Structure 1
Amino acid sequence: MGATGGAVWGRTEQQDFRSRVRGTLLGVAVGDALGTPVDGTDLDGIRAAHGADGPAEMTVAHGRRGAVTHLTQLTLFSVDGLIRAQVRRDTGAWHPPTDLHRAYRRWETTQRDWGPDERRGEDGWLARQEWLYARRNPPRPLLLGLGDDTMGTPQAPKNPAEQGPEAAARSAPFGLLVGWEPQLVAQLAVECATQTHGHPTACLAAGAYAVIVQGLARGEVLDGSAQRALALLSARPGHEPVSEALRQALGAVRQGQPGPERITDLIGDGTAAGLVAAAVYCALVGEDVRHGLRLAVTHGGPSAATGALTGGLLGALHGETALPPAWLAELEGRSTVLELADDFAMEMTQGPALHGPSGSSPAWLTRYPRA
Structure 2
Amino acid sequence: MGATAGAVWGRVEQQDFRSRVRGTLLGVSVGDALGAPVDVLDLEEIREAYGADGIADLVFAYGRRGAVTHLTQLTLFSVDGLIRAQVRRDTGAWHPPTDLHRAYLRWASTQRDWGPDERRKDDGWLAREEWLYARREPTRALLIGFGDDTMGTLESPKSPAELGPEATARSAPFGLLVGWEPQLVVQLAVECAAQTHGHPTAYLSAGAYAVIVHGLARGESLDAAVQRALGLLAARPGHEPVSGALQHALGAVRQGLPTAARVEELAADGSADGVLGAAVYCALVGEDVRHGLCLAVNHDGPSGATGALTGGLLGALHGETALPPAWLAELEGRPTLLELADDFAMEMTQGPALHGPGGSSPGWLVRYPRA
Structure 1 length-normalised TM: 0.99
1:207-246 aligned at under 5 Å gives the runs 207-246=207-246
Identity rate, percent? 81
Q: Distance in 1 between matches of 2:95 and 2:53?
A: 45
1:74-223 aligned at under 5 Å gives the runs 74-223=74-223
Cross-structure match for 1:363: 363
The answer (yes or no) to whether the contact 1:5–1:180 under 8 Å persists in 2 is no
Cross-structure match for 2:13: 13
Letter in 1 for 2:105: R
Q: CA deviation at 1:256?
A: 0.5
Residues 241-270 of structure 1 show CA distances to partners (whole Å, capped at 9, x for unaligned) of 000000000000000011110001001111
Q: Distance in 1 between matches of 2:2 and 2:141?
A: 31
**Distance change (3 Å), C-alpha of 1:7 and 1:237:** farther
The answer (yes or no) to whether the contact 1:164–1:197 under 8 Å persists in 2 is yes
Q: Distance in 2 between matches of 1:81 and 1:225?
A: 25
Unmatched runs of 5 consecutive residues or more in structure 2: none
Residue 277, structure 1, aligned to residue 273, structure 2: no
Residue 291, structure 1, aligned to residue 264, structure 2: no
Q: CA deviation at 1:143?
A: 0.4
Q: Distance in 2 between matches of 1:148 and 1:336?
A: 27
Q: Distance in 2 between matches of 1:120 and 1:64?
A: 30
The answer (yes or no) to whether the contact 1:3–1:178 under 8 Å persists in 2 is no
Q: Distance in 2 between matches of 1:225 and 1:50?
A: 35
Q: Distance in 2 between matches of 1:231 and 1:301?
A: 28
Q: CA deviation at 1:345?
A: 0.1
Residues 145-189 of structure 1 show CA distances to partners (whole Å, capped at 9, x for unaligned) of 001111000000000000100000000000000011100000000
Q: CA deviation at 1:358?
A: 1.6
Cross-structure match for 2:266: 266
Q: Distance in 1 between matches of 2:137 and 2:342?
A: 28
Q: CA deviation at 1:50?
A: 2.2
**Distance change (3 Å), C-alpha of 1:240 and 1:2:** closer
Q: CA deviation at 1:7?
A: 5.8
Q: CA deviation at 1:212?
A: 0.2
Q: Distance in 1 between matches of 2:330 and 2:101?
A: 31
Q: CA deviation at 1:52?
A: 2.9
Letter in 1 for 2:322: A
Q: Distance in 2 between matches of 1:13 and 1:368?
A: 24
Letter in 2 for 1:336: T
Q: Secondary structure at the match of 2:269?
A: coil
Q: CA deviation at 1:54?
A: 2.3
Letter in 2 for 1:221: S
Q: CA deviation at 1:5?
A: 4.5
Q: CA deviation at 1:300?
A: 1.4
Q: Distance in 1 between matches of 2:32 and 2:284?
A: 19
Q: CA deviation at 1:91?
A: 0.5
Q: Secondary structure at the match of 1:275?
A: helix
The answer (yes or no) to whether the contact 1:74–1:104 under 8 Å persists in 2 is yes
Residue 345, structure 1, aligned to residue 345, structure 2: yes
Q: Secondary structure at the match of 2:112?
A: coil
Cross-structure match for 1:332: 332
Q: Distance in 2 between matches of 1:153 and 1:315?
A: 30
Q: Distance in 1 between matches of 2:46 and 2:278?
A: 18
Q: Distance in 2 between matches of 1:368 and 1:312?
A: 24
Q: CA deviation at 1:76?
A: 0.2
The answer (yes or no) to whether the contact 1:164–1:202 under 8 Å persists in 2 is yes
Q: Distance in 2 between matches of 1:7 and 1:97?
A: 25
Q: CA deviation at 1:343?
A: 0.1
Runs of 4+ residues deviating >6 angstroms:
none
Letter in 1 for 2:199: H
Letter in 1 for 2:167: A
Unmatched runs of 5 consecutive residues or more in structure 1: none
The answer (yes or no) to whether the contact 2:83–2:368 under 8 Å persists in 1 is yes
Residue 57, structure 1, aligned to residue 66, structure 2: no
Q: CA deviation at 1:48?
A: 2.1
The answer (yes or no) to whether the contact 2:14–2:349 under 8 Å persists in 1 is yes
Cross-structure match for 1:322: 322
- Could you say what the CA RMSD is over the residues aligned between the two structures, in angstroms? 0.9
Residue 35, structure 1, aligned to residue 35, structure 2: yes
**Distance change (3 Å), C-alpha of 1:79 and 1:279:** same
Q: Secondary structure at the match of 1:111?
A: helix
Letter in 2 for 1:24: T
